[in-house]
Amino acid sequence: MFGENISGSSELTTELQLGQRRVVTLRWRAPLLMVAVISASIAVRPPITVIGPLAETVHASTGLSSTAIGVLTTLPLVVFMLVSAQVSRVARQLGMEVAMAVGFAFVLGGSVIRWVPSIPLMYLGTAVVAIGLTMPNVLLPGIIRRDFQARIGPMTSLYIALTAGGSGVASFLALPLAIDLGWGWRATIASTGVLAAFAAITWSLVGGERHEPAAEILTQTEVWRSRTAWWVALFFSTQTLIFYCVVAWLVPVLTAKGLTPTASGAFLGGFSIVGIGSSLLAPILAARQPSQSTAAAAFGVIQVVGALGMLVSTGLAAGVFALVLGVGAAGGFAVAFALFGLRAPNHFVSSELAGMAQTVGYGVAAVGPLLFGFLHDLFGNWNVLLGAFVLLAVFAVALGVLAGRPLFVSAGSPLGNHLDEMHVS
């Protein structure tokens, strides 16, 4: 079903020439590409989200301060900010599939480095892991745009849902693996490399395209000068900021609201799990219409309700509203991710847009948790953070409306009037 645009001809191998672009299509490429997308979806979040639940264990074992441990969560975001805009250049040289395989090989290598009993190597390995993760972060929207053009919504839903599931499962299993099964925190963190290894193998087997760099001229300047691209980037920024602030601070916020640390940790895992449904639904709804403004605004409103409910409630009710926020945040992030493909006329522009938006979004997300932590220290009250969440969700509604308008990033023209790329089926 999903492979209708990439399955090729009846011959074992068909080589097609489109301008200077060569695409090698294999009979088994369609199902293998599906497996590769699924493996990437599951592997992309656990190397980062596994750290949060183990923070106290790491502190007890190493004596690192909370700030030093927080750097392990912030460092990947800084790397994403610095590297994301360069990924499309690497992909044009190597081809998207090879670049994906190389990226997950980096994740595997960084995971092995993090296993070594050395604090400096823990930070080095985390940076290497983050460099590798920029590849799937940036390139998957373009791959979906290119190879599943008629299924952008469902494929984006699949990717986001599996990403949320992988993140939630990693959060739930981290402590049981490290403590109950006796793996220890280093081995538990390093174990996420197994997922990356499988993803690297599947992407290396997909094979595919090699590009003539001179034939694919798309400057970053064109994307960075587009107003539509900036609306998409700013909307994406609100979603990444909400997610990473929740990951960093939800447990102490709910604990201050009267829940036990164990219950608060469970609600943090639930924050990701409950979003799977909205992750599946949001891109499908968004892709059905030329404009995604309504879908983006709707999930933004759900975020407003969740953040406002957490602000005014205590105890179990605060945890329930955190789950409401999770539904809205997952749906909003899924719409933002879908916009990388839906706002682009072809997969080259899609990758450039994803790189630009993630440079901006992860830059904001890297500063956000530190800023909110500073505000808590300054005012001594988590309600300041929750009030900021409410304002941020309101901004997300407005930015989602602007980002969802039916305009292509590259030319700013109405979707119906733009000549899209030729697609080989």
The pLDDT value given to residue 107? 96
Give the whole-angstrom CA distance, residue 351 versus residue 220.
10
The pLDDT value given to residue 12? 30
Tokens of 423: 């697609």
Question: What is the distance, to the nearest Å, from the Cα of residue 324 to the centroid of all Cα atoms in its chain?
Answer: 20
Tokens of 88: 């499309």
Average model confidence (pLDDT) across the chain: 80
As to burial, measured by CB atoms within 10 angstroms (0-12 exposed, 13-18 middle, 19+ buried), residue 21 is: middle
Angle between helices 87-94 and 119-147 (to 10 degrees): 60
For residue 399, pLDDT beyond 80: yes
For residue 374, pLDDT beyond 80: no
* C-alpha distances in Å from residue 154, one per residue of 112, 235, 336: 34, 21, 14
For residue 297, pLDDT beyond 70: yes
> CB 174: neighbour CB atoms within 10 A?
27
For residue 271, what pLDDT band results from cuts at 50, 70 and 90? Answer: confident
Hey, CA dihedral for 60, 61, 64, 67, is it positive or negative?
Answer: negative
Most confident of 108-112, 146-150, 404-408: 108-112
Long-range contacts of 79-83 (CB under 8 A, 24+ apart): 79/127, 79/130, 79/131, 79/134, 80/130, 80/133, 80/134, 80/137, 80/358, 80/359, 80/362, 80/366, 81/358, 81/359, 81/362, 81/363, 81/366, 82/359, 83/130, 83/131, 83/134
Strand, coil or helix: what is 407?
strand
Question: What is the distance, to the nearest Å, from the Cα of residue 8 to the centroid of all Cα atoms in its chain?
Answer: 30
For residue 315, pLDDT beyond 70: yes
Strand, coil or helix: what is 296?
helix
Residue indicated by tokens 């998957």? 140
Tokens of 152: 């952008």
The pLDDT value given to residue 13? 33
Which among 170, 78, 163 is positioned nearest to 362, based on CA atoms?
Answer: 78
Show the beta-strand stretches assigned E in 304-411: none
The pLDDT value given to residue 230? 93
Residue indicated by tokens 């390995």? 125
Give the whole-angstrom CA distance, residue 335 versus residue 343.
11
The pLDDT value given to residue 373? 73
Local structure of residue 257 (DSSP, 8 states) = T
For residue 207, what pLDDT band results from cuts at 50, 70 and 90? Answer: low
Give the whole-angstrom CA distance, residue 71 versus residue 48.
11
Residue indicated by tokens 């949320």? 164
First to last CA, the chain: 13
The pLDDT value given to residue 420? 35
Predicted confidence (pLDDT) per residue in 209-231, tens digit? 444 443 344 444 478 888 889 99
| Better-scored residue on pLDDT, 67 or 181 | 181
For residue 37, pLDDT beyond 70: yes
Predicted confidence (pLDDT) per residue in 156-206, tens digit? 788 878 887 888 788 778 888 988 888 998 999 999 999 999 999 999 888
Residue indicated by tokens 């087997």? 205
For residue 378, pLDDT beyond 50: yes
| Better-scored residue on pLDDT, 262 or 108 | 108
For residue 312, pLDDT beyond 80: yes
Segment 15-39 shows an average pLDDT of 62
* C-alpha distances in Å from residue 111, one per residue of 141, 175, 322: 25, 18, 31
- All domains of the chain, ordered by start, with CATH? 6-417 (1.20.1250.20)
